[in-house]
Structure 1
Amino acid sequence: MELGLSYVLKSVVALIVIILAANYGLKYLNTFMIKKNQVIKVIERTPISKSSALSIVEIADTYYLMSFTDTRNEILRELTAVEKEKITSSIEEKRPAGPMNQKKQQTSKKAVQTFKSLRTQYQSFYEKRK
């Protein structure tokens, strides 16, 4: 019985070592796979249903509102300069850089309201399409 217990313990320890080695190896290899200068960035993604989502995507310094479904991905519209400014300011506010002043908080609230209104508009658009 003692021989079987030591075999099980050795197997468990070996399995843990293999899992840790694989984890660190994949993390190391991932550093070579990630591109430093990404041209396409998903800024925010909001699910609409199980199979669809709305996203704000930055492609070469231009912001787009896109819909993603299982079968199609569409650019719904290009965001205006004002909307782009609201989004970039809300991104900067999410970064921990110290206390936010009142003006930045109001800008962030406006950006969230803008995104929510866009989401409700396109959500109703998808419901009408069904």
Structure 2
Amino acid sequence: MFCGIVAGSVPAFTVADEPAGVAFLDTRPVFRGHVLVVPREHYEVLPDLPVSSLAGYFGLVRRITVAVETGLGCGGTFVAMNNRVSQSVPHLHTHVVPRTKGDGLRGFFWPRTTYDDADSATGYAARIAAALPPA
């Protein structure tokens, strides 16, 4: 599925599409504006990612974190990655979840929500993309 998003054959609400990876809205977000960042090449888990790709990939994750905070005006972010256990898609991906004080997120309990419609999701993606700092 994520390989299809990277290839452009599976639709997604894309926030960034760069050589280091692709960032797009999670379709079942913890909170609206929850972004997934994936490397362009298929790797199942973090230990599979070549050392030579670390700076580019995590540079993109860092920039998405800034863009989520700035674009959505949230108080911070939660950045996480599962490797095999609890990894719902066997493709390396990093979650960047917008946070606000008192939002109710506790520990690793991740309630899920949805977007009202495609226009709502498009609006969130556009706000985050517009706030993305340069590489």
Where is the strand percentage greater, Structure 1 or Structure 2? 1
TM-score by length of 1: 0.32
Q: Which has the larger radius of gyration?
A: 1
Larger RCO, structures 1/2 (Cα 8 Å, 6+ apart)? 2
Where is the helix percentage greater, Structure 1 or Structure 2? 1
